[in-house]
Amino acid sequence: MGKKYFIKTFGCQMNFNDSERIRGILRTLGYEPAESWEEADLILLNTCTIREKPDQKVLSHIGEYKKIKERNPNALIAVSGCLAQRAGWELVQKAPAVDIMFSSFNMHQLPELINQAQAGYKAVAILEAPPEDEDAVWDFPTERDNPYCAYVTIIKGCDKNCTYCVVPKTRGKERSRSMYSILEEVKKLVDEGVREIHLLGQNVTAWGKDFERPIPFSELLYEVSKVDGVERIRFTTGHPKDLTDDTVEAMADIPQVCNALHLPFQAGSDRILELMDRKYTKEFYLDRINRLKEAVEDIALSTDIIVGFPTETDEDFEHTLDVVREVEFEQVFSFKYSPRPGTPAAEMEGQVPDEVKTERMSRLLELQKAIMGKLSKRYEGTVQKVLVEEERGEGTLIGRTTTNKWATFKGGRELLGKIVKVRVESASPFNLECELLEVVR
């Protein structure tokens, strides 16, 4: 009987992509996916530690999953990802049921770690820095749920050191993946039927800077677009400071690059931005946005905002609301500031009380709701191109527009994976009800 695994993933798209690769590694070891954790021989939690909440969730999940050992004493519990990297042995002390621990630095060591754990040892491989052979991970396949859209990690780590953020600690310094390795994966994915390539990194716009002979990110966009069969390209996340004019021009110039960009601004007040060490001002950010809006027709923008950073006053927060009003984002992901152990902001005086964060957050959400209502109305009556991704119930298809909006319409399964033209009948912030017009290709 083959062994079975169950993976629970927290956090960002990078972590989801890591899980896809971990699933690929497990497949090469003969493991198959289990329907539920109760049936698994290996339960893996791929963790996030960006805020306090995800930390707590991981511990409560381990508490539940450890019951598996009552029924299946040989079952293994593994913890990977950013919390594993940050907490290390401290986590094993808090949760002794954990048998295996590793991080995004050494996913490729999973086969040995499983062997060690099966032999009865605690297989904790948390390294100070990424090992020399970390690129070995690219040799493993990925196992994806979506056959048409695929994530491709192009840069690991982050050199930015924003004062609130744990990522530089959990993912290490910036390491760009080679152009060759990226293009090889893209070609393989397209051969498997993938049509949309989503390039990933904590800071994709910094790709190529760390090479002996630096290459601009825009060149990577051009190279990916030249791979036969790539219909769409997205990339996440870009840092405003690294979004250079050549990247904006490439976005406008390359037909496959989608009309959407996620560009976090975090806060509108220059004083807060400086305390965050974001290395730009409100004016600089708005200037980048204007440049994007001029260059890329109908671009859909989204962003991340932190509410209640230490010392933030109501007046500071007004600047955040200002940016939201001026840019009109299609989507805003807002987070209450959460102090992270070992980061400079956690030690700052003037921490903002939770009630104040909650109150500011609700003002922000209220404003954004009105903007989303207004923006979605603009879609009504327009014709959009949609990549058909899934069948939702008999005869109903869903897919996304190039602006990353979900569209629903009637059509048959044979359209899965095709680009189609639809007319938008009615629009709400999270869905466009459409009528199918024609198949493009």
Contact residues for ligand SAH, defined by CB under 6 A: 50-51, 164-165, 167, 202-203, 237, 239, 264, 266, 304, 306, 335, 337-338, 340
If one asks whether residue 346 binds ligand F3S (CB under 6 A), the answer comes out as: no
Q: Which of 4, 6, 7, 15 binds ligand F3S (CB under 6 A)?
A: 15
Distance between CA atoms of residues 157 and 311, nearest Å = 28
Q: Which of 162, 230, 372, 434 binds ligand SF4 (CB under 6 A)?
A: 162
Question: Which string of DSSP letters, residue by residue, matches 376-412?
Answer: HHTTTT-EEEEEEEEE-STTEEEEEETTS-EEEEE--
Of the pair 153, 203, the CB lying nearest ligand SAH is at 203
If one asks whether residue 161 binds ligand SF4 (CB under 6 A), the answer comes out as: yes
Q: Binding mask 190-229 vs ligand SF4 (x if CB under 6 A, - otherwise)?
A: ------------xx--------------------------
If one asks whether residue 34 binds ligand F3S (CB under 6 A), the answer comes out as: no
Q: Which does 335 bind (CB under 5 to 8 A by kind): ligand SF4, ligand F3S, ligand SAH, none?
A: ligand SAH
Binding span for ligand SF4 by CB under 6 A among 125-133, 163-171, 391-399, 419-427: 163-171
Q: Are 108 and 136 in contact (CB under 8 A)?
A: yes
Distance between CA atoms of residues 18 and 46, nearest Å = 8
Distance between CA atoms of residues 398 and 278, nearest Å = 37
Q: Are 403 and 260 in contact (CB under 8 A)?
A: yes
Question: Half-sphere exposure of residue 235, counting CA atoms within 13 Å on the CB side?
Answer: 26
Q: Which does 161 bind (CB under 5 to 8 A by kind): ligand SF4, ligand F3S, ligand SAH, none?
A: ligand SF4
Q: Which does 170 bind (CB under 5 to 8 A by kind): ligand SF4, ligand F3S, ligand SAH, none?
A: ligand F3S
Please give the structure tokens belonging to residue 90. 């401290």
- Chain centre to alpha carbon of residue 268: 23
The CB-of-130 to ligand SAH minimum distance in angstroms stands at 18
Q: Which of 239, 336, 360, 405 binds ligand SF4 (CB under 6 A)?
A: 239
If one asks whether residue 405 binds ligand SF4 (CB under 6 A), the answer comes out as: no
Distance between CA atoms of residues 305 and 268, nearest Å = 9
Binding span for ligand SF4 by CB under 6 A among 113-121, 161-169, 337-345, 376-384: 161-169
Q: Are 427 and 380 in contact (CB under 8 A)?
A: yes
The amino acid at 43: I
The CB-of-166 to ligand F3S minimum distance in angstroms stands at 6
Q: Which does 276 bind (CB under 5 to 8 A by kind): ligand F3S, ligand SAH, ligand SF4, none?
A: none
Q: Which does 11 bind (CB under 5 to 8 A by kind): ligand SF4, ligand SAH, ligand F3S, none?
A: ligand F3S
The CB-of-83 to ligand F3S minimum distance in angstroms stands at 7
Of the pair 306, 372, the CB lying nearest ligand SF4 is at 306
Q: Is 128 exposed, middle or buried (0-12, 13-18, 19+ CB in 10 A)?
A: exposed
Q: Are 130 and 105 in contact (CB under 8 A)?
A: yes
Distance between CA atoms of residues 225 and 219, nearest Å = 10
User: In which residue are the tokens 């677009």 written?
Assistant: 225
Q: How many residues bind ligand SF4 (CB under 6 A)?
A: 10
Distance between CA atoms of residues 75 and 73, nearest Å = 6
The CB-of-240 to ligand SAH minimum distance in angstroms stands at 8
The CB-of-190 to ligand SF4 minimum distance in angstroms stands at 29
Distance between CA atoms of residues 155 and 338, nearest Å = 26
Which phi and psi (to 5°) does residue 330 adopt? -70, -30
Q: Which of 160, 232, 336, 357 binds ligand SF4 (CB under 6 A)?
A: 160
Of the pair 240, 399, the CB lying nearest ligand SAH is at 240
Taking CA atoms, 116 is separated from 5, 47, 250, in Å, by 17, 21, 48
Of residues 109 through 148, those in contact with ligand SF4 by CB under 6 A are: none
Number of helices (H) and strands (E), helices first, in the chain?
14, 19
Question: Half-sphere exposure of residue 189, counting CA atoms within 13 Å on the CB side?
Answer: 30
Run of H or E residues at 101 = strand 100-101
If one asks whether residue 171 binds ligand F3S (CB under 6 A), the answer comes out as: yes
Q: Which does 49 bind (CB under 5 to 8 A by kind): ligand F3S, ligand SF4, ligand SAH, none?
A: ligand F3S
The CB-of-293 to ligand SF4 minimum distance in angstroms stands at 23
Question: Half-sphere exposure of residue 77, counting CA atoms within 13 Å on the CB side?
Answer: 24
Distance between CA atoms of residues 235 and 152, nearest Å = 9
Distance between CA atoms of residues 263 and 244, nearest Å = 13
- Give residues in contact with ligand SF4 (CB under 6 A): 158, 160-162, 165, 167-168, 202-203, 239
- Give residues in contact with ligand F3S (CB under 6 A): 11-12, 14-15, 48-50, 81-82, 166-167, 170-171
